[in-house]
Chain A
């Protein structure tokens, strides 16, 4: 099992969610995060240029079976991409076990 974590643009969230549903990834969590990064947004206020050091993004955590890792990552790459600096990142790590609380099931069957 893998944990796929993705930091994406908020504006791309709906598109990503739809795309994940299309490949039968229906269970994931997300929250809004603030971070710093390479993106420099061109703000100008009263003739003074500035960039906000706080960048607003959405953080997704998706647990998938090993077989699903490539397609999940590809889907995220496709749906979250705009081509500009600041599209975000994807991290993949191993997960030792998953349990479903209601039934006590474990393993791949507990994921979705």
Chain B
């Protein structure tokens, strides 16, 4: 490993960090566009809070919790702050792939994503203080603990000894976080939506699902394009070096899956609902991106297209299913991040370089363990908040808008046609 290569690797990782940071703008715009104008300030405030608080909390203890070094495989911690400091800037830390600083800031950008996913699903009705409290705990504790089990070298990555079995596999595999990031957020979103209840006017008295159209589709589309761009860093950086073969393959599989996801979502929703719905197209692209994330470095281009095509159909079916279950997810976060996250992680056992029955079983068991842990912890946190602080804003506040009551501001002062 030469110093030049070390520098190149590190520059690529910092570029990817910047791209993942940019995804937070993508999420902000997507959520803003798919909800109503009276709650815009609230959405933006939550997204600003998540990245700022998320980074600070991840600095404080999250990073050490997620990458504790040598530990028992279940729970480890190697100190507050960034204990390694300047000892981690040499070529020896991570075999010349990146420095300790880069490691922290790249992972820190990831961490806040899990809470952002929840933000969209609970939009337009959750109390701001309740959401902030929840996201601090979730990003500070739950996300790093789950992450340590796989990326930190914990028990999921040494599945054979955990199960006491002789499986032909290296353990659970989740390249860039279909499960570790997206489903972890998705499970919390699901629990939050169940505990919160639906927005007023989402279901008729007879229980029929009603449409609450988002107020700014151009902004939401801009969000999707920005997220796609950010995903080059999300997946491309997860190679954890500037390896030419792997990084370029990952960018190809990521984009092909996104494109295939968009096309299959728009075709299936058009066949089903008889209209060209751009919001389904958008969710399909995101579903394809989430779906490929677990195996972006394992798939051939053709396999990545297949993963995307299936992701797109899953998104459309899931959005409809969630409606039928009387759950209200304004932006489709559960369909995209949870359903496609599960599919993408399972797909590692079916398609690509690691495909085998044993791998499939390990993927399935690991997803179940993570699902159980995330659901239980999200439930405990949210239920406690519900019984103490309260989760939901008052009826009046919801009708007149969170912007007016929580913030006392208008998103579009001096401009506006609709009162609702």
Contact = CB atoms under 8 A, between A and B. Distances in A.
Interface of A: 42-50
B235 to A, nearest CB: 27
Contacts of A48: 209-211, 323
A47 B210 contact: no
Contact of A43 (B211, B279, B320, B332): B211
Contacts of A47: 269, 272-273, 277, 280, 316, 319-320, 323
A46 B210 contact: no
Q: Give the 7 A-B residue pairs with the shortest CB-CB distance, closest first.
A: A45-B211, A50-B211, A48-B211, A44-B275, A45-B213, A47-B273, A44-B273
Given A42-B275, A47-B272, A50-B210, 19 more contacts: A43-B211, A44-B211, A44-B273, A44-B274, A44-B275, A44-B277, A45-B211, A45-B212, A45-B213, A46-B277, A47-B269, A47-B273, A47-B277, A47-B280, A47-B320, A47-B323, A48-B209, A48-B210, A49-B211
A19 B320 CA distance: 48
Contact of B280 (A42, A43, A46, A49): A46
B279 A46 contact: yes
Interface of B: 209-213, 269, 272-275, 277, 279-280, 316, 319-320, 323, 332
A46 B332 contact: yes
A42 B319 CA distance: 20
Contacts of B280: 46-47
A10 B275 CA distance: 24
B118 to A, nearest CB: 20
30 contacts: A42-B275, A43-B213, A44-B211, A44-B273, A44-B274, A44-B275, A44-B277, A45-B211, A45-B213, A45-B277, A45-B279, A46-B211, A46-B277, A46-B279, A46-B280, A46-B332, A47-B269, A47-B272, A47-B273, A47-B277, A47-B280, A47-B316, A47-B319, A47-B320, A47-B323, A48-B209, A48-B210, A48-B323, A49-B273, A50-B211
Nearest to A52: B213
Contacts of B213: 43, 45
Contacts of B269: 47
Contacts of B212: 45
A15 B343 CA distance: 55
Task: Give the residue among A47, A48, A49, A50 with the most B Cβ atoms within 10 A.
Answer: A47
B319 A46 contact: yes
Contacts of B332: 46
Nearest to A44: B275
A49 B320 CA distance: 12
Nearest to B279: A46
Contacts of B316: 47
Nearest to B269: A47
A96 to B, nearest CB: 37
B372 to A, nearest CB: 30
B226 to A, nearest CB: 21
A48 B332 CA distance: 13
A50 to B, nearest CB: 4
Contacts of B275: 42, 44
Contacts of B273: 44, 47, 49
Task: Give the residue among A44, A45, A46 with the most B Cβ atoms within 10 A.
Answer: A46
A33 to B, nearest CB: 14
Contacts of A46: 211, 277, 279-280, 319, 332
B267 to A, nearest CB: 14
A49 B275 CA distance: 10
A44 B211 CA distance: 8
A46 B317 CA distance: 11
A47 B275 CA distance: 9
Contacts of A45: 211-213, 277, 279
B45 to A, nearest CB: 25
Nearest to A54: B418
B328 to A, nearest CB: 12
Task: Give the residue among A42, A44, A49 with the most B Cβ atoms within 10 A.
Answer: A44
Contacts of A44: 211, 273-275, 277
